[in-house]
């Protein structure tokens, strides 16, 4: 169980502030670091990985400062965004070199285990330069896992992967998180984060914009109406009952699609109201779907704020 | 202070296709010219001195130093693959020292040994010229490796900076401006060569004690500087 703490961290390059006074704690489980390009995600990950000194503040791993601390890498596994590897090596040689650099007692066995974890044994004897992007990503992953780290940092790990490889990597990261490892991955693709991590840290323009379960973040944003799609046995009766209450601000009876679209301004009250009025009016609810709780809408609200 | 895995990766990267071709081409050219000169002009100490001092020591040795010294680290920093070395519990001074030893070994192998054999071909080690220039090439290779390794860590234009140093400073300014000769690796190496060769066969602008001190100071200073810079090296993201 390892915790990565970012405490009052800023980083600037000349006059440009890339990361501005960020404080966050990354604990066991899978955390998504989300933000548009240029938000400061990679700068933050580089500071967490000890590749960049914070201009102010500190990054610590279970209390130990990461910058200029080679020993931290015994616990850290890093999957960098950049493509470059030692292309002249085979996948097996590359992962074994990483195992040796970690000083593992049996680098050959550790290499075999790591390659099996990412299902790359079949191509382990081929040179890295012949690999597809997805294969490279998996071998990078194997090299990060070879010393069985308690913390895994991945910078845009799904870039360039096909859907099948993406699902495989997601499954692997879920497993790592479930095993109690601290897994942090960055992405600007919302669906990826939504599928993999309920806990997100959102960066916008160098600032830490939000932290926590993305659905809860969405609910906390009370200045925005919450939209729902409702299917019921009698949408018209339900609509009349809902609009009479202050918790709703708008309704659309979509006869063509056979749904009721509701805009609620008071989330807590509405979630209590809807089942109550349905029961009172004898209306059966077939489906209640939040239509704007996707990470994308949370994210666009935060960016626009 | 040495890591076998870092050494293996560095050695394999250095002897990869393009760099290996350059490393082999220059010594091969020297040997071919030596054979041609010997066949056409016969054995002659003056010609041997001109070829080994003018081409081997003044041009080939610094160029091989540039290829080996910068090639040992600069490409990894440029493309970002150095991240796989730096994200390990290995001290960065160990990374630098290991890479320096590999660069030195490659430089000596591709410059000192061919220089010695070229001397043998040209006039059969007459007046100990082959041994003297071979030792000078080896001594210069050690210093060049450290200097160019430092350049490889401090600048993204290490090869250009190295070529400017090797060709402009060592070859041009070093031969035209008297004061600059004192600060020339070539002259320090020649000081050791003049000590080995029979009296008067090789002349140097710097005395042997001064040359040894400067060689040691520059080599150690460059190594220390490279280790310090690698320790402070930051890897910026794509953003």
Number of domains in chain A: 2
Say if residues B73 and B149 touch (Cβ distance below 8 Å): yes
- Report chain B residues whose CB lies below 8 A from the CB of A43: 236-237, 239
Domain containing A295 — which CATH number? 3.30.70.100
Q: B12 and A89 in contact by Cβ < 8 A?
A: yes
Q: Are residues A263 and A168 in the same domain?
A: no
Which position has the higher pLDDT, A225 or B107? B107
Average pLDDT of the segment spanning B133-159:
94
The SS3 call for residue A264 is strand
For B35, B118, B119, the CA distances from B28, given in Å and listed in that order, are 11, 10, 14
Q: Are residues A206 and A285 in the same domain?
A: no
Domain edge (last residue) among A182, A198, A218:
A218
Q: How far is A35 from chain B (nearest CA, A)?
A: 12
Say if residues A144 and A78 touch (Cβ distance below 8 Å): yes
- pLDDT band at residue B229 under the 50/70/90 scheme: very high
- Report chain B residues whose CB lies below 8 A from the CB of A85: 81, 84
Residue of A101, A140, A147 to mutate when probing chain B, most B C-beta within 10 A: A101
The reported pLDDT for the residue numbered A4 is: 94
Q: In this structure, what token pair is assigned to residue A294?
A: 């996707």
Q: Is the pLDDT of residue A64 over 60?
A: yes
Q: Are residues A77 and A196 in the same domain?
A: yes
A97 lies within 8 A of chain B by CB: yes
Q: In this structure, what token pair is assigned to residue B25?
A: 């081409």
End-to-end, the C-alpha distance of chain B in Å comes to: 35
Give this complex's ipTM.
0.88
Count A/B contacts: CB-CB distance under 8 Å: 88
Q: Are residues A78 and A142 in the same domain?
A: yes
Q: Is the pLDDT of residue A292 over 80?
A: no
Length of chain B equals: 239
Q: Are residues A289 and A149 in the same domain?
A: no
> What are the φ and ψ backbone dihedral angles of A260, each rounded to 5 degrees?
-115, 125
Residues A148, B20: Cα–Cα separation, whole Å: 37
The reported pLDDT for the residue numbered A296 is: 67
Segment A233-278, tens digit of pLDDT? 999 999 999 999 998 989 999 988 889 999 988 888 898 899 999 9
Q: B16 and A82 in contact by Cβ < 8 A?
A: no
Q: Residue A285: give the domain boundaries.
A: 223-304
The SS3 call for residue A57 is strand
A108 lies within 8 A of chain B by CB: no
Angle at B189 (CA atoms; ends B213, B201), nearest 5 degrees:
125
> What are the φ and ψ backbone dihedral angles of B81, each rounded to 5 degrees?
-70, -15
Residues A85, A73: Cα–Cα separation, whole Å: 18
The reported pLDDT for the residue numbered B129 is: 92
- Report chain A residues whose CB lies below 8 A from the CB of B88: 70, 73, 98, 101-102
Residue ranges per domain, chain B?
A: 4-232
The reported pLDDT for the residue numbered A294 is: 67
Q: Is the pLDDT of residue B121 over 90?
A: yes
Residue B210: Cβ within 10 Å count: 13
The reported pLDDT for the residue numbered A305 is: 61
Q: Are residues A195 and A231 in the same domain?
A: no
Segment B186-204, tens digit of pLDDT? 999 999 999 998 877 888 8
Of the ranges A152-161, B105-114, B163-172, which one carries the lowest mean pLDDT score? B163-172
Q: Are residues A100 and A172 in the same domain?
A: yes
Q: B238 and A82 in contact by Cβ < 8 A?
A: yes
State chain B's mean pLDDT as an integer. 90
Segment A194-221, tens digit of pLDDT? 888 878 998 888 999 888 887 777 677 6
Q: Are residues A178 and A80 in the same domain?
A: yes
Q: In this structure, what token pair is assigned to residue A79?
A: 């999957």
Task: Find residue B9's DSSP bridge partners.
Answer: none
Picking from A267, A265, A273, the residue whose alpha carbon sits closest to that of residue A249 is: A265
Q: Is the pLDDT of residue B238 over 80?
A: no
Residues A266, A283: Cα–Cα separation, whole Å: 22
Domain edge (last residue) among A167, A190, A218:
A218
Residues B200, B195: Cα–Cα separation, whole Å: 9
Average pLDDT of the segment spanning A128-148:
92
Q: Are residues A18 and A122 in the same domain?
A: yes
The reported pLDDT for the residue numbered A222 is: 66
Q: In this structure, what token pair is assigned to residue B125?
A: 């080690």
The SS3 call for residue A241 is helix
For A4, A151, A299, B57, the CA distances from A61, given in Å and listed in that order, are 5, 9, 28, 51
The reported pLDDT for the residue numbered B239 is: 43
Q: B87 and A100 in contact by Cβ < 8 A?
A: no
The reported pLDDT for the residue numbered B171 is: 72
The reported pLDDT for the residue numbered B236 is: 63
Q: Are residues A196 and A260 in the same domain?
A: no
Query: Who's near B196: CB < 8 A, 6+ residues apart?
Result: B128, B131, B132, B135
Q: Are residues A63 and A32 in the same domain?
A: yes
Q: A71 and B89 in contact by Cβ < 8 A?
A: yes
Q: Are residues A138 and A168 in the same domain?
A: yes
Of the ranges A106-115, A167-176, B144-153, B163-172, which one carries the lowest mean pLDDT score? B163-172
Domain edge (last residue) among A161, A187, A218:
A218
Of the ranges A12-21, A122-131, B18-27, B163-172, which one carries the lowest mean pLDDT score? B163-172
- Report chain A residues whose CB lies below 8 A from the CB of B80: 80, 82, 84
Residues A19, A13: Cα–Cα separation, whole Å: 10
């Amino acid at each position: 169980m390892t915790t990565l703490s970012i405490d009052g961290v800023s980083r600037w390059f000349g006059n440009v502030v890339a990361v501005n006074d960020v404080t966050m704690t990354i604990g066991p489980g899978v955390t998504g670091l989300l933000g548009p390009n240029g938000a400061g995600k990679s700068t933050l990950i580089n500071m967490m990985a000890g590749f960049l000194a914070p201009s102010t503040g500190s990054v610590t791993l279970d209390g130990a400062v990461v910058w200029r601390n080679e020993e931290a890498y015994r616990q850290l596994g890093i999957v960098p965004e950049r493509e470059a590897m030692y292309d002249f090596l085979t996948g097996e040689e590359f992962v074994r070199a990483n195992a040796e650099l970690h000083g593992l007692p049996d680098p050959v066995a550790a290499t075999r285990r790591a390659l099996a974890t990412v299902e790359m044994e079949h191509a382990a004897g081929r040179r890295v330069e012949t690999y597809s992007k997805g294969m490279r990503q998996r071998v990078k992953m194997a090299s990060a896992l070879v010393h069985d780290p308690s913390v895994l940092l991945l910078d845009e790990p799904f870039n360039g992967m096909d859907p099948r490889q993406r699902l495989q990597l997601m499954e692997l990261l879920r497993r790592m998180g479930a095993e109690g490892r601290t897994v942090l991955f960055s992405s600007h693709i919302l669906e990826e984060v939504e599928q993999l991590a309920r806990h997100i840290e959102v960066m916008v323009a160098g600032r830490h914009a939000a932290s926590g379960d993305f659905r809860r973040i969405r609910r906390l944003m009370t200045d925005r109406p919450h939209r729902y799609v409702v299917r019921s046995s009698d949408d018209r009766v339900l609509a009349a009952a809902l609009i009479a209450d202050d918790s709703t601000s708008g309704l659309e009876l979509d006869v063509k699609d056979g749904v009721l679209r509701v805009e609620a301004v008071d989330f807590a009250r509405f979630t209590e109201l809807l089942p109550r009025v349905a029961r009172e009016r004898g209306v059966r609810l077939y489906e209640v779907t939040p239509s704007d709780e996707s990470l994308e809408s949370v994210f666009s609200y935060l960016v626009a704020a | 202070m040495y890591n076998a895995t870092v050494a293996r990766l560095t050695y394999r990267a250095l002897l990869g296709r393009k760099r290996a071709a350059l490393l082999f081409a220059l010594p091969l050219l020297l040997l071919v010219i030596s054979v041609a000169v010997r066949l056409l002009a016969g054995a002659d100490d003056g010609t041997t001195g001109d070829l080994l001092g003018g081409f081997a020591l003044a041009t080939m040795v610094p160029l091989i130093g540039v290829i080996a010294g910068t090639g040992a680290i600069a490409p990894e920093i440029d493309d970002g693959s150095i991240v796989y070395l730096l994200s390990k519990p290995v001290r960065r001074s160990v990374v630098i020292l290991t890479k320096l030893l590999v660069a030195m070994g490659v430089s000596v192998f591709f410059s000192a040994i061919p220089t010695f054999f070229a001397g043998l071909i040209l006039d059969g080690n007459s007046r100990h010229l082959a041994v003297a220039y071979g030792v000078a090439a080896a001594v210069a290779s050690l210093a060049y490796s450290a200097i160019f390794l430092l350049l490889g860590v401090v600048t993204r234009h290490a090869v250009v900076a190295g070529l400017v140093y090797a060709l402009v400073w060592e070859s041009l300014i070093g031969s035209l401006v008297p004061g600059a000769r004192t600060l020339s690796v070539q002259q320090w190496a020649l000081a050791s060569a003049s000590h080995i060769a029979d009296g008067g066969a090789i002349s140097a602008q710097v005395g042997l004690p001064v040359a040894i001190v400067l060689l040691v100071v520059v080599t150690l200073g460059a190594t220390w500087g490279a280790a310090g810079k690698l320790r402070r090296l930051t890897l910026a993201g794509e953003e």
